[in-house]
Amino acid sequence: MANRDNEQGIPEPVSPELYTREYFTTDCEGHHLFLEGTAEIPERIQEALEAAGDLAGKWVLDLGCGRGELTCEAAARGAHAVGIDYSQAALELAQALLDTLDPEPRDRVEFVASDAKGLPFPDGSFDVVFMVDVYEHLHPHEIESTLAEIKRVLRPRGKLIVHTGPNTWFYRYGYPLVRETARLLLRRELPEDLRGQYDDIMHVNEQSPLSLRHGLRQAGFKAAVRPRSFFVGMNPNRWERAVMRILFTRPAAYIFCTSLMAEARPEEGGREAQLRVNRVLRMMAPPRGSRVLLLGESEGMLAHRLSHLAEVDVTWMEPGKESAAGQAASPHQGGYTRKQGDLYALPFADSHFDAAAAQFTLEYLESPERAIAEWSRVIKEGGLLVLVVHNGLFKGWEQRPGPRPLNSFTPGVLVRLVEDAGLIVEETSTLIPDLRFPALYRGDLDFSLTLERLPFLSKKGSLLFLRARKEGGR
């Protein structure tokens, strides 16, 4: 069955009817392990899970879950795991595998029938998204929509893990060289074509190392792509294995490895306000169930972004006289609670919040020391405080000059102030280096993210960020 184009000339998706029980149990890689009922999982899935790091307590999305091995293994490693697929046969096999799990990890798994181009989850739902052997099954226009959805449902500092095969450079350059070498030196004829019976129909978007990296970057991800090969279905002797190890080492691996693995994170970009808010979100990275306090969040962009993350309770506290409406803490239509009150005497119990953030607030207070001590009081042990102030070392022009601050902070001064309050400083950074022309340019400033890593500019950006943790936990 060939893939067809619609009336607009856009290729139709590969039909879910092609992804049958027979496909998943006779051709799809790892089917032998699945049918044997062994606890062993395919090597590519094992490596994808290892690339994700510690999954305990994380929320994981397995996009195109197939038989469900990755979803179930993620739950066994402590994650809350959701697997989606648009193939009914896949979901039936995945559910059968789920039924074999112990009750504790089984309760943290859900399988959902869904199309990857329209995920039925709120913004910021997942810490890790896996896309294992799915990329090559989606047309370029489908990949564009899918990656946009993945970026939407990832939490701050979230990670996307991609595995795709085959590597087109292997078929175009690597395998012809291997085949000809085997014929001339070993007098051994290798198959002319290694492709499976389903590849021509289902593989509508195979990738090279460069095209995969380019596609992820175009979608707004910062990606590292590695060539990978596994000894699936092969029994090489030790000499053949030694040769393979050499060929599978970069740079030769880019043409001799059969598949590709990518680790990607959403990339910062946009104008100054977007870059600033994105960085605060990354530094806070509140998990599900968090309570977050915003202090002096005058513009509302950070409150809006945080309130759209799944299961994050946001309170926006502005300085001013507390009103009856403020005491009632009525929810704002944006999904957060807005109050007014004294920033030196917050109307909250000790250790009430998991994190607090203040943007351009500390520099306009008469007593920054008192303020930080009070903000620390309402943060739980192990909780975070994120501060954003104008950098006293910045010598350029501001895009939007504001009122003159009461206090000026350099990186060293701000660190000492926070440490004197008993907090542990974990990270400082600046944003927008002293380029001497930001007032003349209002476009995307992501190019500055590279420049600010240079030693001369690393402490001279116009904005100063600090993340500190309250002692007592992590």
- pTM (global) more than 0.75: yes
Taking only the tens place, the pLDDT of each residue in 25-74 is: 988 888 888 888 777 888 999 999 999 999 999 999 999 999 999 999 99
> What does the pLDDT read at residue 269?
72
> What does the pLDDT read at residue 325?
43
Asked if the 16-266 domain carries CATH number 3.90.230.10, the reply is: no
Rounded CA separation 342/256 (Å) = 64
In a 13 Å sphere around the CA of 183, the CA atoms on its Cβ side amount to 10
Write down the domain spans for the chain: 16-266, 272-470
> What does the pLDDT read at residue 402?
65
Rounded CA separation 385/25 (Å) = 51
N-terminal to C-terminal alpha carbon distance within the chain = 54
Rg (CA), the chain: 26
Which strands, in side-by-side order, build the sheet including 353-359?
337-341, 312-319, 290-295, 353-359, 379-390, 463-470, 423-431
CATH number of 272-470: 3.40.50.150
> What does the pLDDT read at residue 277?
92
Contact assessment for residue 205 and residue 168, using Cβ atoms and an 8 Å cutoff: no
> What does the pLDDT read at residue 187?
75
CB atoms within 10 A of CB 306: 28
Tell me 391's DSSP state. B
Rounded CA separation 363/216 (Å) = 39
Print pLDDT tens along the chain (474 aa).
445 665 667 889 999 999 999 999 988 888 888 888 777 888 999 999 999 999 999 999 999 999 999 999 999 999 999 999 999 999 999 999 999 999 999 999 999 999 999 999 999 999 999 999 999 999 999 999 999 999 999 999 999 999 999 999 999 998 888 888 878 776 777 777 777 777 888 999 999 999 999 999 999 999 999 999 865 555 666 776 777 777 788 888 999 999 999 999 998 777 778 888 999 999 999 999 999 999 987 678 999 999 999 999 999 999 887 654 444 444 454 578 999 999 999 999 999 999 999 999 999 999 999 999 999 999 999 999 999 999 998 876 665 566 778 899 999 999 999 999 999 999 999 987 655 554 445 455 666 666 666 766 667 888 999 999 998 755
16-266 matches 272-470 in fold: yes
